[in-house]
Amino acid sequence: MAAPDNIIIGSHVWVEDPEVAWIDGEVFQISGDEVHVKTTNGKTVVANMSKTFPKDTEAPPGGVDDMTKLSYLHEPGVLQNLATRYELNEIYTYTGNILIAVNPFQRLPHLYDSHMMEQYKGAAFGELSPHVFAVADAAYRAMMNEGKSNSILVSGESGAGKTETTKMLMRYLAFLGGRSGVEGRTVEQQVLESNPVLEAFGNAKTVRNNNSSRFGKFVEIQFDKSGRISGAAIRTYLLERSRVCQISDPERNYHCFYLLCAAPPEDIERYKLGSPKTFHYLNQSNCYELDGVNDAHEYLATRRAMDIVGISDQEQEAIFRVVAAILHLGNITFAKGKEIDSSVIKDEKSRFHLNMTAELLRCNTQSLEDVLIKRVMVTPEEVITRTLDPENASAGRDALAKTIYSRLFDWLVEKINISIGQDANSNSIIGVLDIYGFESFKCNSFEQFCINFTNEKLQQHFNQHVFKMEQEEYTKEEINWSYIEFVDNQDVLDLIEKKPGGIIALLDEACMFPKSTHETFAQKLYQTFKSHKRFIKPKLSRTDFTILHYAGEVPYQANQFLDKNKDYVVAEHQALLTASECPFVASLFPPLPVESSKSSKFSSIGSRFKLQLQALMETLSATEPHYIRCVKPNHVLKPAIFENSNVIQQLRCGGVLEAIRISCAGYPTRRTFYDFLNRFGLLAPEVLEGNYDDKVACQMILDKRGLKGHQIGKTKVFLRAGQMAELDARRAEVLGNAARIIQRKIRTYIARKEFIAVREAAIKLQSYLRGNMARKVYEELRWQVGALKIQKNFRQYTVRKSYLTLRTSAIKLQTGLRAMTARNEFRFRKQTKAAIIIQAHWRCYQASLYYRSLQKAIIVTQCGWRCRVARRELRKLKMAARETGALKEAKDKLEKRVEELTWRLQFEKRLRTDLEESKAQEIAKLQDLLQAMQLQVEEANSMVINEREAARKAIEEAPPVTKETPVIVKDTERINSLTSEVEKLKALLQAEKQIAEEAKQAYTLVQAKNGELVNKLEDAEKRADQLQDSVQRLEEKLSNLESENQVLRQQALAISPTGKALAARPKTTIIQRTPENGSVLNGEIKKTLASPQVPETEEKPHRSLNEKQQENQDLLIKCISQDLGFSGGKPVAACLIYKCLLHWRSFEFERTGIFDRVIQTITTAIEVPDNNDVLSYWLSNSSTLLLLLQHTLKASGAAGLTPQRRRTTSASLFGRMSQGLRGSSQGAGFSFLNGRLLGGFEDPRQVEAKYPALLFKQQLTAFLEKIYGLIRDNLKKEIAPVLGQCIQAPRNSRASLVKGRSQANAVAQQALIAHWQSIVKSLDNYLKILRANYVPAFLVRQLFNQTFSFINVQLFNSLLLRRECCSFSNGEYVKAGLAELEQWCHEATEEFAGPAWDELKHIRQAVGFLVIHQKPKKTLKEITNDLCPVLSMQQLYRISTMYWDDKYGTHTVSSDVIARMRVMMTEESNNAVSSSFLLDDDSSIPFSLDDISKSMQEVEVPEIDPPPLIRGNSGFTFLLQHSE
């Protein structure tokens, strides 16, 4: 990473900073090798030129997903890229094929759901965004394709997320190759379920992590030949045994000790435990609890995990008994004995713990005490027993505790491996190595030495792998290269492990000598390695030493090296625990073989660990490695905090920077020809203008700049370290000159613009002044004329005002008098009208009050009575509901109700007829009587008139008075009699009038009642119609469902051994009530013979008839096997099948084979799933035939009662309902209802369908869905390969880089939409085929709706997973392609395209967001409500963070909007809202038979000409008759 020599003033560079590791700034002065930099935080820094690195000012604002794409591959560039991506929650980044994972310290569930797994399944490495799934998928694909085992090495320091990463790898490998294991658990589940157990016994709190793994773990996942997981094994390395006895503040011991102390009270009492503060092995640190962790809950969780992995309750009890014994063992203290160098149990408290230890380990108390304070030495002559001083006794006690715990941990691992199971026949594995990272603390002991030795080994393997990858890259590009020197750490490995002079060998040698101490061991190291460049002796210490590792210097304290390296079990300890009465404890210490017990060969932890590590490296060398480097961004373990110094140290420890150094030793900068020309083409414009090949053009640019040492590959330009900076410096110089020219032109333009503006302002000022003077003269003239007009108008005004005042006064006086008179008149009339209104309202109120009270009383009475009746009915219904036949009674009541309504309807009709007849007779009588009375009245009137005339004449002709007296008396009597008779006639007339009035009133009442009855009759008819429709629909639905049940039962019976027996039963017929057979009980069924005996004379004609029918069927099948085409927009084959089946009455047969033959014909026709023309032809035929059957077939009641389906009882509510309604259709009431009410509305074309017809209909429906799915999937397969190219704009040709070349731009634009036009072409082809075959428009709409939904899902998911797609220019490209699809929808019309355009709403809104300008000014409300209302917050956040503008350099939304999005996403994740940002493709059938039926309401069978094959056949003459 040497700094370039061409840093100039104005260059943007990185310089070292003690706080943030690296800080960027701008060079403002260069003095020799010193560079003066103005940093972004305002400080001025003076740095050496060799420690200054150039900054890429054109780097994407969101960073790059692969750091090999960085223009400057150096330490600050890598750090800045990781920090930028981490800020956007992009925690994964590639460095070549190495994955760097930065721990987010928060849940990101959208990154690990099943949708994300589906996206990475089978995707090429590097095609999608960096992810741990991509590494796992690459390992799995390499294993399957090459047949070679693979390994994934997960490393990092404590707290970096290694364990979680391993879990994610296991989940994804289980997703790819999972299979069911024993007892319902899969192998991968068992491996994952073992984690809690291993974490409880192998993890502890350290300074850097609350759950640090204190052992290495290598999980071998075994696969069979088909790629399915067949077994697994867990290998562990270097458990930190010393932690059992020694811990430092603020760390903790292993979790299991604290979990046991927080166990339930009965366990505490059983093991005589207490607070962790009371145990020596736990109270060496003041940390007893972890934040956010409940040890009691974790204890129960660990017990459950033990159950899952197959550890029995007895074994669990023994395990925790051993753990408790270790705690009690640590509390045993010793005091000096009476003899020299002897010891005894210190006090009663220690005695109690000794007794408890012996009780828990089930061994003799005295033997345990002797083992702790005495040692037995066996010599050839005698057996010597010697005592131990308190210090040695404590050391022996600790050694015993460490040995027991180590054996217990090994037993757990072995038990888990046995539970998981291994595949001995497996040849392929994927190993996942979860191992501790490089460690460097204040105090580094033997454990850190072994851990760092492991990391040195892995780093060497890593360096070799990276170097190999570099060589493969160079070979692939066919460039000339020589061996590249890189820093190797073999000298450090030799320092540690070389025999006989390595540190481990010297340590083993020191351990074999009893008198060796850590001081003598350290002195031996100083003497042996005094001249080694990797070994440093501190000046102020006599036992410490420092090793210069690849990640830096690490000082080690040799004080405990000898004790921790010893790996032998004291013979007394072995004998004591082997003799334990507890089988579990005895199994941990099996008896040693005689040879091994007598052998004196020395064994050490270091040597054993070296052998384990050697075996691990051999395993890794036999596999193809993949690397994941986990990074902890901060020490406070909180999200959104990125500590540069901490991360840089981890990158160094993880070997990432070492890999970068290897890359820098060769060609660290690699650019494709397009990227190189796009960035540096301006250095040689003549090259771009010429018609050169890209490779030649790049070479010409490099030659022009005079660069040496570069290489030109097949697709890339390879530059040495520093050459990129040199080219950038020349490019900045060219851009600076261009900027100065632009500035000069702009300043000229601005100066001329200002001069023209000043000149125009002067002209305008002169014009204004002259105009102002003219306006003043004009104003004076106006004042003079105005004064004359004012005088004239004022005089006129005064005279007119006096006249108007006088006139107004007179008018007002007249108006007032007239108004007063009018108001008096109005007041009187108003009072009169008000009085009338008050009287009217008062009378109305009294009448209304009386009416309402009467109505209320009636309603209350009716409600009370109805409630009483309803309660009585409810009680009856409740009682009936408890019985088995409750629904049947309800059905019977419904029938009776229908009958009653029908009877009442007829009765009302008869009553109305009788009433009208009686009314007519009564009216006729009254009219006759009235006429008679009128005649009598007229006669009486005429008599009175005659009498009066006679009297008048008599008076006139009368003699004188003396003579007239008697006549007058006589006439007077006669007049009186006539008058009385007239009075009688008047009374009689009045009576007749009264009678006529009463009759008229009665007629009015009768007419009113008649109107009410008519209304009731109409309501009854409406209700009867509604009941008729409801019952008919219910009957049809139940019949259809029963028919489907019959199909399923008969299919089951067909494969059952009792099918033949059931089929052999006699068939039954249903006899419904008719006017001829009288009343038959509901559901009564009379059995008749299925096949009545036929006389022999009829058998032969019947056989010949069957043969003729068979010939006709053969001819029909042969005919429809051909392409018959279409007639009148309808498929001929479907219409032909329908007419023949209808004419032959095949739908009404109990048994027929014609349906199976038609289905077989369709099956044969669609055997080639890629022939869309044939599929469309049969899709049209099947849909048309199915619609005809839907409108023709009617499920019969008899079809529901075949012998196979009869049941005495029904177990479910639906079964009882269907049986009741099925029986009711056969009963008297329902047959009457069908005959009387439904007969007039029944479609004469409907046919009572039997079971075979209904089965045929179901099979046809299945074939319709299958054919539709085949056509849809064919269309998806055709456009799927093109969609991957449609989401990302193709690179522009070099000609388009030169401005002003219209022809080249037009060609490039045409090339941009070529892929979209191929999709449009495919859609056109399919639409043409579907329309040519007259496929119903409804099915065509559904097909294109699902296709556009598929396009939306694929494009949108690819957009979210590939950062290079989230650019401005790419948004314009996709938008142009979507415009092509919109144009196609418009041309296809609404009839066939339907709402397909709306299915693209996600990609449309996402692309619309990409191409809008001024994104930083948009608020979150505007984005979510106006721009992208359909997109979720996860989707918006991902698009916003991945966006980059490669065209205009604009930025994404503001940081405030990003922060609010992040807060809202956190809230959604807390509320358990689905956080997946990917879409799912719906491949279901989006319609049902009812949907198709509704879309085509009118189904008509067109008259078709019979095909030539059957036209001359006598069996098909009915087709000719129809056509004629």
How far apart, in whole angstroms, are the C-alpha atoms of residue 718 and residue 279? 64
Which residues have C-beta within 8 Å of that of residue 1447, sequence separation ≥ 6? 1367, 1368, 1369, 1372
Residue 510 · residue 524 · CB < 8 Å: yes
Cα 241 to Cα 406: distance, rounded to the nearest angstrom: 7
3-state helix, strand and coil shares in percent for the chain, rounded to the nearest 5? 65, 10, 25
Q: What are residue 1165's phi and psi, to 5 degrees?
A: -70, -30
Give the active site residues. 158-159, 163, 209, 212-213, 437, 439
Residue 646 to residue 1036: CA distance in whole angstroms = 76
Dist. CA 322–CA 201, nearest whole Å = 12
* Count helices and strands in the chain by DSSP H and E runs: 49, 30
Q: Is the dihedral of CA 1203, 1208, 1212, 1215 positive or negative?
A: positive
Residue 470 and residue 483: Cα distance in Å, rounded? 11
The DSSP annotation for 1007-1063 comes to HHHHHHHHHHHHHHHHHHHHHHHHHHHHHHHHHHHHHHHHHHHHHHHHHSTTHHHHH
102 - beta bridge partners?
Answer: 631
Tokens of 365: 């108390």
- Give the C-alpha distances (Å, rounded to integers) separating 613 from 571, 616, 617, 619, 703: 28, 5, 6, 10, 51
Q: How far is CA 933 from the centre of its chain?
A: 95
Contacts (Cβ under 8 Å, ≥6 apart) of 967: 954, 958
**How many CA atoms lie less than 13 Å away from 1265 in the CB half-sphere?**
13
The DSSP bridge partners found for residue 221 are 232, 430
**Tally of CB atoms within 10 A around 50:** 11
User: Comparing C-alpha atoms, which of 1092, 1189, 1104 is closest to residue 1147?
Assistant: 1189
Tokens of 546: 């420092």
- Quote the Cα angle for 757-759-762, to 5°: 110
What tokens were used for 533? 């460049």
Closest CA to 614 of 500, 460, 491, 438: 460
Q: Which two tokens stand for residue 240?
A: 């930190």
Q: In 3D, which of 1335, 1190, 1202, 1320 has the Cα closest to residue 1268?
A: 1335
Angstrom distance (rounded) from CA 1348 to CA 1388:
14
- 1242, 1147 Cβ separation under 8 angstroms: no
Helix, strand, or coil (residue 669): strand
Query: Are 1320 and 1381 a contacting pair, CB within 8 Å?
Result: yes
| Secondary structure string (H, E, C) spanning 498-567 | CCCCCHHHHHHHHHHCCCCCHHHHHHHHHHHCCCCCCEECCCCCCCEEEEEECCEEEEEEHHHHHHHHEC
Residue 275 parent element (H or E): none
Do residues 645 and 157 lie in contact, with contact meaning Cβ atoms separated by under 8 Å?
no
Torsion of CA 724, 730, 736, 742, to 10 degrees: -110
Rounded-to-10 torsion of CA 403, 407, 413, 418: 170
Query: What DSSP assignment string belongs to 974-995?
Result: HHHHHHHHHHHHHHHHHHHHHH
